[in-house]
A and B are shown apart, each in its own frame.
Chain A
Amino acid sequence: MADHISQTQSFADQVRAIPGGEHLEMCYSCGTCVSKCMIQQKVEPEYNPRRLLHMVIMDMERQAFESPTTWLCSACDLCYPACPQEIHISGVIGAVKDLAVRAGYESPLDTVSVEESRCSGCGICVMTCPYEAPHLIEKQLDGELDRLSEVDANLCMGCGICVAACPMGAISRPGVSNEELREQLRVPASDGAPRMVVFVCDWSLRADADVTLLESYAQNVHIIHIPCTGRIDPEMALLSLRAGIDGVLVCGCAPGECHYKRGTVVSSCKIGLLDRMLGQMQMGNGRGLASHPVRFVQIGTQDRGRIRREVDTMLEHLVHSKEAQ
């Protein structure tokens, strides 16, 4: 029956029939969405929601399914408020992706995987994922029926929010697994200068100059690139401090502008609670840690150049507390 429908319906009709796809017709190809899109600016020059929408209208099914635009859209919806036609563009792209998956296409992204022997089936990943990629299944494991998390790779955007949230550390994503990030927490000592780690969400830096700037810092400021600040968990920050690092700065997007919808909110909550705990711990009485040694800053789309100020302010703060000792 479904096949019959798809044969009689045009590709555009199929997209329109999926909730979210119904706005397709309203696009008049102004391209405002493209100008707002971070993927187009930072990752994929070929990325073009306007063109994808047009492909659909023109019934270019195969081209639409193979277009990176179909797979890379994270539904951050920065384009949505800018669209003069009020098209929910990520909804239309989502409908195209839905059809692509049904047609057997697979996501080209780096996605997460669950280590089944460690998963306890707590469902935290299910609850926190912005894309409803994980779900709980029942599976025979070592002769027993076990409740486990399973991730739909076609829905996963690889943000790493679940990797940080998993209390068992049972989820990993290539490039930002717990082990890989821990490996990076080594910052060489440098003549008494404070050592600092900056976890920076690549999406939060809008200007190329800001990205280049980060490379110019001396060795004592170690930059770790992450897909989203939602990937950072308090354990990572504490491991940094234990490794002798004086301060940890986590830079993410402003609320409402997070590339993965809720990574920045999740992260600011975690870092906020960690800050409160460090305060409760009265760290100042011990090793002489600076006040608020772990900080979260949110860099908005209009905040060009702010990353330098934030890093410098933190560095200055760490220098002062070292001198005060």
Chain B
Amino acid sequence: MAEAKPKLALYWAASCGGCEITVTELGMRLVSLAQLVDIVFWPCLMDFKYSDVEAMEDGEIDVCFFNGAIRTSENEEMAHLLRDKSRILVAFGSCATEGCIPGLANLFDAESILARVYDTAPSVDDSRGTRPITSFTVPEGIIEIPTFYEQVFTLAQTVEVDYFAPGCPPVVDQVWNIFQTFLSGELPERGAIIGVDPKTNCDVCPREKGESGYRVREWRRPHTVALDPDRCFLTQEVICCGPATRAGCGLPCISGNMPCRGCYGPPEGVIDQGAKLLSAIGALVDTDEPETLSQIMDTIVDPAGLSYRFGLANSLLSEIKYGARVREDEV
């Protein structure tokens, strides 16, 4: 009898679905993948129920790719369940790794988010102060929906994670590399960040760099500039997150003449990507007049959103605001 095929699971928590799409973009490679593994859980594409996972033995799944952040109690419950049932748990994509776009909600508290959605959004008419309730009694019994948390967590803030594969989404060739790594059985060191290169995007970016004494008097937003495809964005007064972002994506944005947004997260050795980016950008200004300086700073419309577009939930900012989350298995 042939050896049993490795069991693979893919799950999505608080995410947009882009990570799922990137897996389907494997195209014909996905077909060959399906021949090499048993997909035992993939609610986005195949018909499985949570009860199917609950019925599994602990550690029965060989590798689980978990994308999405932890926003609700359902996300958290599934994180724990899949952790228990999986031998290897991979935080797949930026949401699971560092919070990504859902993590930007950490700029606000839960009530102000709900108030926006249910009361003050322009599309909401005649607010009645409606709020979701988590438990409701009907004649047939009690209906419960998941709780909306006060903040967004990363997967590793919730359960123990074996590997991290950043990217919004991880680019398809890296996804294929990652699958092949697991299939080969030659696993990287536990806790490793996979599907990435060691340095930052500037290391691989072919654009012409700025020269000595280059200074910025204004930051411009990409849509307001006719961008030169051969010169470093910073020398065109456009903020590029490339200097503070781990390489590995193959520069799809930069090749498309758009600055890097930073989705591959901080490079090795950097604790806080946003703070480092800010430090690099701030180093380029030049003026002795406080008023001009203030005007230059004003040209960065949303500093937190720019610097922490993908990493807010995993940032020092979030940790300072909410305190460090201590996982149950770490107590």
Contacts and interface: CB of A to CB of B under 8 A. Distances in A.
Interface of A: 118-124, 126-129, 132, 135-136, 146-147, 161-162, 164-169, 230, 233-235, 237-239, 241-242, 255-256, 262, 265-270, 272-274, 276-278, 280-283, 285-287, 289
A127 B210 contact: yes
Contacts of B271: 235, 239
Contacts of B277: 167
9 contacts: A122-B280, A147-B209, A165-B279, A167-B270, A167-B277, A233-B278, A270-B282, A274-B275, A277-B308
A78 to B, nearest CB: 13
A51 B305 CA distance: 54
Contacts of B276: 167, 169, 233, 235
Given A121-B203, A286-B323, A287-B321, A235 B279 contact: yes
Contacts of B234: 124, 127
A206 to B, nearest CB: 19
B244 A167 contact: yes
B279 A234 contact: yes
A274 B315 CA distance: 13
B280 A165 contact: yes
A282 B109 contact: yes
Contact of A280 (B107, B212, B283): B107
Interface string B200-229: 111100000111111100000000000000
A135 B286 contact: no
A308 to B, nearest CB: 23
Contacts of A265: 285-288, 293
Contacts of B269: 118, 168-169
B98 interface: no
Contacts of A273: 278, 281-282, 297, 300, 303
Contacts of A146: 203
Given A118-B269, A280-B303, 13 more contacts: A123-B209, A123-B232, A127-B210, A127-B215, A128-B284, A146-B203, A168-B270, A233-B276, A237-B275, A238-B272, A241-B316, A269-B296, A276-B303
Interface residues of B, number: 63
B156 to A, nearest CB: 17
Interface string B10-31: 0000000000000000000000
B278 A274 contact: yes
B170 interface: no
Q: Is the interface of A mostly helix, strand, loop or mixed?
A: helix
A282 B107 contact: yes
Contacts of A235: 270-272, 275-276, 279, 316
Contact of A270 (B211, B213, B278, B319): B278
B231 to A, nearest CB: 11
Nearest to A122: B202
A142 to B, nearest CB: 10
A271 B276 CA distance: 12
Interface in B189-205: 199-203
A127 to B, nearest CB: 4
B302 interface: yes
A186 B232 CA distance: 39
Contacts of A241: 316, 320
B114 interface: no
Q: Considering residues A234, A267, A289, which has the most beta carbons from chain B within 10 angstroms of its beta carbon? A: A234
Nearest to B112: A282
A162 B282 CA distance: 11
Contacts of B308: 277
B304 interface: yes
A129 to B, nearest CB: 7
Contacts of B322: 286-287
Contacts of A166: 280
Contacts of A237: 275
Nearest to A283: B321
4 closest residue pairs by CB, A with B: A165-B283, A122-B202, A270-B282, A233-B279
Contacts of B214: 126-127
A234 B275 contact: yes
Contacts of A164: 279, 283
A122 B242 contact: yes
A276 B306 CA distance: 12
Q: Considering residues B271, B276, B283, B320, which has the most beta carbons from chain A within 10 angstroms of its beta carbon? A: B283
Given A167-B277, A235-B272, A265-B285, A277 B109 contact: no
B304 A277 contact: yes
B317 interface: yes
B94 interface: no
B285 A266 contact: yes
Given A123-B202, A277-B307, A282-B107, A167 B282 contact: no
A257 B267 CA distance: 35
Nearest to B290: A255
Contacts of B297: 269, 272-273, 276
A277 B303 contact: yes
Q: Considering residues A119, A280, A281, which has the most beta carbons from chain B within 10 angstroms of its beta carbon? A: A281
Contact of A132 (B213, B247, B279, B285): B213
